[in-house]
Chains A and B, each alone.
Chain A
């Protein structure tokens, strides 16, 4: 029995045809996929392919260049996957790695933002203990008001937190669970009024647009991180409506503020010229806003900058400091938001806790200048000393200043 040559040739023909068809199909299919773009961040040395799809994202900040950090060291994700679902499946905090639930693995790390207090690298410790994140003051106020606790001392925060070394005397907060509360108003408070701390998702609506965690303040646009934070960013929480304590609900503003002086500020509040011209971060310092690493009772116990911090009082000039140490934190802060050219030997204003107001300078004639951190606007101002101000020396809090200096609306 012999093999007929035609049969054999026919089979070869079929097999080679199938092979050809397969190869062209596979080639066609792979040519539909985007060409992978690889990146080997110098920090990790581990190849990642995120830029295949995300090449057009703006650089997040000058301090986090993509060539050094890549994407994965902050965002997580499957660095080699070219399938969007798989690549994104293990991202930290969804699109926001600074969400406080994951911040320790993304922004954290001893060389990054969870270093020691001595190196001033304990940013995460500061944020998670700060009032912005614990919401401790509001919670204790409500609990006290409805008889659920005997005084105004903070016992609960949004998340449980402990700090053995807290200098404020409060070393721990328990997680606040409004469902455990007996009073219906406390429960209602839990449902309606917990949308502004750093753990919380923002309320619906463009005016409330913000992220959670670090990005709530530091992300002001698409994929950026900045310390030049405009007042509008703060207002996403701080000027978007009011609590109605009778119904225990949050009443959103319905108007769309355009003019800062008329539309933004609430009718009963009094403001001076600088309070509606400057940005919040021009006066309020890092430790006030972001916390100082200790657990505080409420907002009032961490906020301390007053009019007199910059303007002094009748019989005293504001505190100043001449920069002699090249490692002074003021230089770092000025480097991160280069609106001023700070030099060794410059004299700047400082707060009573010693925090530098690094965007100010003492001018030779005894007046002061300030550059807006977000606006880069240039301001000059004078000390109170030597003016006709008649304020008593023991009444130096800002609200006394407002009595004369509030802007007419």
Chain B
């Protein structure tokens, strides 16, 4: 067994104490700073009656933001939030362009120009018994 002197032991204890309290204080400070008041993020959007969106229509829903597409095969909703850093896309001739960093997507949401890498998200759509459309962003 290695002998440690009294002096070394005290040094060790003192420094341990010091680092422990510093670590705890920093931890407490970070806990204090990282509190976020509870808030409700809206994830459910009532888009109104099915009748408002005839077959073939592509309707922009700014409050989400998303594009509601009524194709022959049914309803789909394309998120208009850029997959790069979250700006809202603007429609152009053959798709969407991002005003922030110039990413571009085609009408189906595939990337046609970087810096975005991922295609646009499709939102979950539900049609209720009363024939209203609900879009979910979660």
B1-24 CB contact bits vs A (8 Å, 1 = yes)? 000000000000010011011101
Check A13 against B17 for contact (C-beta < 8 Å): yes
Q: A residues 1-52 with Cβ under 8 Å of B?
A: 9, 12-13, 16-17, 19-20, 23, 26, 38, 40, 45, 47
Contacts of B22 in A (CB 8 A): 16, 19
Task: Tell me whether A20 and B14 are in contact (CB under 8 A).
Answer: no
Interchain residue pairs with CB less than 8 A apart (10): A16-B18, A16-B21, A17-B17, A20-B20, A23-B21, A23-B24, A23-B25, A40-B38, A47-B38, A47-B39
A20 contacts B38, C-beta separation under 8 Å: no
Q: What residues on B are CB-neighbors of A23 within 8 Å?
A: 21, 24-25, 28
Assuming the contacts A9-B14, A12-B14, A13-B14, asked whether A20 and B40 have C-beta atoms less than 8 A apart, the reply is no
Partner of A19, one of B24, B38, B40: B24
Instruction: Determine whether B37 belongs to the interface, using a CB cutoff of 8 Å to chain A.
Output: yes
Number of interface residues of A (CB under 8 A): 13
- Given the known interface contacts A40-B38, A45-B40, the answer about A19 and B25 at a Cβ–Cβ threshold of 8 Å is yes
Chain A contact residues, CB within 8 Å of chain B: 9, 12-13, 16-17, 19-20, 23, 26, 38, 40, 45, 47
1/0 contact string of B62-84 vs chain A (CB within 8 Å)? 00000000000000000000000
Please name all residues of chain B whose beta carbon is closer than 8 Å to the beta carbon of A9 when the two chains form the complex. 14
Q: Which of B17, B37, B39 has a CB less than 8 Å from the CB of A20? A: B17
B residues within 8 Å of A by Cβ? Answer: 14, 17-18, 20-22, 24-25, 28, 37-40
- Shortest CB–CB separation between residue B91 and chain A, in angstroms? 31
| Cα of A17 to Cα of B18 in the assembled complex, Å | 8
Which of A17, A19, A26, A47 touches B37 (beta carbons < 8 Å)? A47
Q: Enumerate chain B residues within 8 angstroms of A40, measured Cβ to Cβ.
A: 38-40
A23 to B40 CA separation, bound complex (whole angstroms): 32
Given contacts A23-B25, A23-B28, contact A16 B38 (CB under 8 A): no
Since A12-B18, A19-B22 are in contact, a sample of 15 more A-B pairs with Cβ atoms closer than 8 Å, ordered by chain A residue number, is A9-B14, A12-B14, A16-B21, A17-B21, A19-B21, A19-B24, A20-B24, A23-B21, A23-B24, A23-B25, A26-B28, A40-B39, A40-B40, A47-B37, A47-B38
B37 (CB) vs chain A CBs: closest residue: A47
**Of the candidates A13, A38, A45, A47, which one forms a contact with B18 in the assembled complex, judged by CB atoms under 8 Å apart?**
A13
Most buried by B among A13, A16, A23, A47: A16
> In the complex, what residues of B have CB within 8 A of residue A13's CB?
14, 17-18
**A38: B residues at CB distance < 8 A:** 38
Residues of B close to A26: CB separation below 8 A = 28
Set of chain B residues within 8 Å of A20, measured between Cβ atoms:
17, 20-21, 24
* In the bound complex, CA of A40 to CA of B22 (Å): 37
Instruction: Tell me the smallest distance from the CB of B117 to a CB of chain A, in Å.
Output: 35
With both beta carbons as reference points, the residue of chain B lying nearest to A16 in the complex is identified as B21
Nearest B residue to A15 by beta-carbon distance? B21
Chain B residues contacting A17 (CB-CB under 8 Å) are 17, 21
* B20 / chain A contacts, CB cutoff of 8 Å: 16, 20
Across the interface, which residues of B come within 8 angstroms of A16, CB to CB? Answer: 17-18, 20-22
Shortest Cβ gap from B22 to chain A (Å): 7
Alpha-carbon separation in the docked complex, A17 to B17 (Å)? 7
Q: Tell me which residues across on chain A come within 8 A of B40, comparing CB atoms.
A: 40, 45
Closest to A17 in B: B17
Pairs A-B, 7 closest by C-beta atoms: A16-B21, A19-B21, A20-B21, A47-B38, A16-B18, A40-B40, A38-B38
Write the chain A residue with the least CB distance to B24: A23
- Report the minimal beta-carbon distance from B45 to chain A, rounded to whole angstroms: 14
Closest partner residue, chain A, to B27 (CB atom): A23
Cα distance, A47 to B38, chains bound together (Å): 7
- Distance to closest chain A CB from B37 (angstroms): 7
Q: Which residues of A contact B24 (CB under 8 A)?
A: 19-20, 23
Q: B121 to nearest A CB, angstroms?
A: 25
List residues of chain A with CB within 8 A of the CB of B39. 40, 47
A23 to chain B, nearest CB (A): 5
Inter-chain contacts of B37 with A (CB < 8 A): 47
B17 to chain A, nearest CB (A): 5
Closest CB in chain B relative to A5 CB, distance in Å: 10
Q: How far is the CA of A216 from the CA of B25 in the complex (A)?
A: 55
Query: Measured between alpha carbons, how far is A60 from B25 in the docked complex, in Å?
Result: 45
Closest CB of chain B to A326's CB: distance in Å? 14
A residues in contact with B21, CB < 8 Å: 16-17, 19-20, 23
For residue B11, give the distance in angstroms from its CB to the closest CB of chain A: 8
Q: How far is the CA of A316 from the CA of B135 in the complex (A)?
A: 57
How far apart are the CA atoms of A105 and B61 in the complex, in Å? 36
Q: Which residue of B lies closest to A13 (CB)?
A: B14
Give the nearest-CB partner of B21 in chain A.
Answer: A16
CA distance A9 to B10 in the complex (A): 11
B64 to chain A, nearest CB (A): 18
Distance between B21 CB and nearest chain A CB, rounded to angstroms: 4
Q: How far is the CA of A38 from the CA of B36 in the complex (A)?
A: 13
Q: Which residues of A contact B14 (CB under 8 A)?
A: 9, 12-13
